[in-house]
Each structure stands twice: as C-alpha cells, then as structure tokens.
Amino acid sequence: MGTPMHTSSSSSDPSFQLKIPSYPFFGQASNTSFEVDDPDRLYDISPFVRVYKCGRVERFFGTERVSASLDPTTGVESKDIEIQPDLTVSVRIFTPPRHINYFNRRRPLLIYIHGGGFVTESAFSPTYQRFLNELVAESKVVAVSIEYRLAPENLLPIAYEDSWLALNWVASHFEGNGDEIWLNENVDFESVYLGGDSAGANIVHNMAMRVGLESDKFPIKLSGAFLNCPHFLGKDPIGSEAEDDKMKNIYQRLWLHMYPDSEGLDDPSVNPAMDPRLSSLGCKRMLIFVAELDSLRDRGYFYQKSLSQSNWMGDAVIEENEGEGHVFNLICPENPKAIEMMKKIAAFLQTNRTL
C-alpha cells in the first residue's frame, strides 16, 4: 500500500528490545528460518520491514505523510487531533463537503483503522488520505481515522490498546460534551461503524469484541463493521495455506514477530475461531471483503463461518473480488472493481438512512 519507500528509524527508548518468537509454524518444527545472511540483522520480513540487532528499523513503504486539508477534488475537509501526545496517539477527522450542509444534520460516523502489517502505514499517509476523502464524499459520513503506534518499536498489544483509547475518546462525545466540535455537532451516535483493512481489519474485529464484552461500560452501540482482506491466521492451515509460501514467510512471521507474547497463530486475537466469546461480537452487521488472489482469502471465509457457528446474533456478508490481490482497492483506486467496492462500502454505511 502506498508509494514504495526505504526509510529507517531507531527507537529512542533505551530499554527498547526486540523479541524473537519461538512459535513454530502449524504447531510443528518448521524449516523456515528467521536467520538472515547479514549478521547485523535480527530479521527481515520484506516487503514490510527489516530489523537490525541494534534496534534500527527499516520500512519499505507506507512512510510518506500528508497534512490534513480541504481536498479540492472531493470537498472533504480533514483535521488532526492529538488524543494523548505522550503516547503519540491521535486521529484525523474527515467531514463531508460543506454543500451537504452537514452542520444542520447529524451524520453516521465511521471509525477507520489502517493496515500495514502492524508495522507500517499511517492514518496520515497519502493512501488513506485519498481513500477516506473519497469514501466520506461518497457516503456522506463523518470519519475518524486512528493513528496508533507501530511495531516492532511498540509490540502488540499496544496497537490494540491505542485503538481502544481512541474509541473511548470518540465515545466521550456521545452526549455532545466532548472537546471536539466536529463530533459534538455533526455525528449521529446512533449510527456508528468500524472499518479497516488487513492488520487494521484485525484490529477492528478486536475492537468490536471489546465493545461487546464491555457493553456495560461503553456508551456507543455499533451499527456494523466492515473488514477488507482481514489479517487472520491459524496454526492449522485451511484451503491452500499449506502450500502458500507468502502466508508462511510474510503474514505468519509478521504476527509472530510483532506479538511474541501472544499464544501464537491460534491466539484469539488473530484466529477468532479460537475465541469462546466470539458470539459477544459487539455489532449485528459485518461486511467482509476478500480478494481471489490474496493469501488471506480463505481466512475471511473462515471468519464468516466461525461467526455463524458461534451463535452470534448478527449477519455477516462476504464480497469477493475475482482476479484481485490483497487490498487492491487501496493500491489501485481507479480500478473499476475498487470503485464498485467503494460504492458497496458507502451503501453499507448508509443503510436505513436517506442522505
């Protein structure tokens, strides 16, 4: 996603240490090695990230940032809010074009969580700025895009905790008493959605679970959520996963390195089928996008099946894009299928509303 770049960074925290996971693939000894030829490297998960023993981190895409602005093409306006500056947790808020007269009418709210394998990309990247400008213009919703801290400098579950912090900040505006006027005056808190892609879709699922499990404390009821090519895994391969080198060498390694203190590939955070509380998912509508050529495709279908078998009292719909790859709509937004996908998301967000 985004324009390929090559950047490096080092953690400023003197206590920062990178952990190496000990979980074998599929629950048995694996021939895949985490070792690399360069003795200074700790591990290399290209094309996402390369990490050195000294703590230096190289990212190969998703590092460019753009400012919030009034978009001249769509008329969508955006601005940034720091929620907790010491943790660098913030959000970018998007509002529909002014000719929609949104100040006199409350709009549905989309809380969006970006992807990038938990290690790269940003709510402030050109990829997500363009996507949300177009989605807000198409759907006429208000959107809040969450900027969470990235691994490996901030290992999971930090991304989950940052996202939960942001959700609670949004919820503080429920009765119009928050500190952000765009939310107080423009949002219909009876129509709140979550959405995300890849690793962000994984986080969306986990946030929806937490909303359901903590419904007595969380004032907002979710109207629905959409997941685009969700980053879900499992110890036991399904479909074509056993022969899929990309699944083993990229997606699984990302999870095991970025959450070394998890329960491995069957941790409920990444394999929802293993969660005995799955029926508590805190929304009643789920729209799941998968892509035919994506290594994660079968996991999207398995997620839908797991929900139906869990006694979850909701409806989960799958939309498959034939001949396309992982989050193709973000990589090639002019693709006719990406444009159609945008319209489907907008319709999902507009359900039971006349805009």
**Residue among 71, 244, 294, 298 flagged as catalytic:** 294
**Rounded distance between C-alpha atoms, residue 34 and residue 45, angstroms:** 9
**Strands of 41-45's sheet, edge to edge?**
4-10, 56-61, 49-52, 41-45
Please indicate whether residue 326 is annotated as part of the active site: yes
**What SS3 class is residue 152?**
coil
Please indicate whether residue 236 is annotated as part of the active site: no
Element housing 191 (H / E): strand 187-197
Residue 26 vs residues 29, 32, 45, 280: alpha-carbon distances, Å:
8, 12, 19, 27
268-279 burial, b at 16+ Cβ within 10 Å, e below that, comes to: bbbbbbbbeebe
Which has the closest alpha carbon to 148: 102, 204, 192, 97? Answer: 204
Helix, strand, coil in percent for the chain, rounding step 5: 30, 25, 45
CA dihedral angle for residue 61, residue 67, residue 70, residue 76, rounded to 10 degrees: 40
**Rounded distance between C-alpha atoms, residue 193 and residue 226, angstroms:** 8
18: left (phi over 0), alpha (psi -120 to 50) or beta: beta
Task: Output the DSSP codes for 47-69.
Answer: TTEEEETTSEEEEEES-------
Task: Output the DSSP codes for 274-313.
Answer: G-TTGGG-S-SEEEEEEETT-TTHHHHHHHHHHHHHTT-S
Residue 307 vs residues 152, 220, 222, 248, 274: alpha-carbon distances, Å:
31, 22, 17, 25, 11
**Residue among 78, 198, 280, 310 flagged as catalytic:** 198
316: left (phi over 0), alpha (psi -120 to 50) or beta: beta
**Residue among 114, 173, 257, 326 flagged as catalytic:** 326
Please indicate whether residue 198 is annotated as part of the active site: yes
Catalytic residues: 198, 294, 326
